[in-house]
Chain A
């Protein structure tokens, strides 16, 4: 079946612009996660959605970052007023339920110039 998909695969933006990243989870997966991975670094948790529960936003680095998810479908991660330190690969993952393994999408590489 189809895996997690993300769009765009690459995004180059100017400092100060807003960007929106999209994630389509595996069908039927109730949990969805966003991570950030800077070059040569580990995964940094950003936000987690589980069904209709309130999301866990504890990893969002600033109020410039926000994310939405409609039901158990698509999620969007929005970064407002981008800064150069936002340059990274943004990874989305989904899992069947919260205890189970996560499957990652290919990521969106964001470059802020």
Chain B
């Protein structure tokens, strides 16, 4: 059973701080990794995709991937109240029909 684990939170950070969201996965052959943001009552929205080890930066967001440790994280710099949402980690392998496994999500609250 392939699994993707996230802390459910809630994670609370003050405005302007760095929010750190973490995700571990069980399938060693996973190839593609994604972070989505989901506001309450809305559908998931893609934030970042990452395919190779290391860091990938996009604006205030940085995704970090460590395949040896089976770990992927998302850092949000200068957190804003509008970042308050549930963040979903998603992992896709190259076996099992390319099915994407989603974590249950981490709820983030950014306090003004």
Interface positions of A (Cβ within 8 A of B): 31, 33, 35, 41-43, 45, 48, 50, 56, 58-59, 89, 91, 98-107
Contact = CB atoms under 8 A, between A and B. Distances in A.
A58 B99 contact: yes
In this complex, the member of B34, B94, B99 whose beta carbon has the largest number of chain A beta carbons within 10 angstroms is B99
Nearest to A6: B43
A7 to B, nearest CB: 14
Given A33-B100, A99-B94, 11 more contacts: A41-B104, A42-B88, A45-B102, A58-B97, A91-B43, A91-B44, A99-B98, A101-B34, A101-B46, A101-B49, A102-B34
Contacts of B97: 48, 50, 56, 58
Interface residues of B, number: 24
A42 B104 contact: yes
Nearest to B98: A98
B62 interface: no
B105 to A, nearest CB: 6
A56 B42 CA distance: 26
Interface of B: 31-32, 34, 36, 42-46, 49, 51, 88, 90, 92, 94, 97-105
Given A42-B103, A48-B99, A56-B97, A106 B43 contact: yes
Nearest to A97: B98
Contacts of A48: 97-99
Nearest to B103: A42
6 contacts: A31-B98, A35-B102, A45-B101, A104-B43, A105-B43, A106-B43
B100 A102 contact: yes
Contacts of B49: 100-101
B32 A42 contact: no
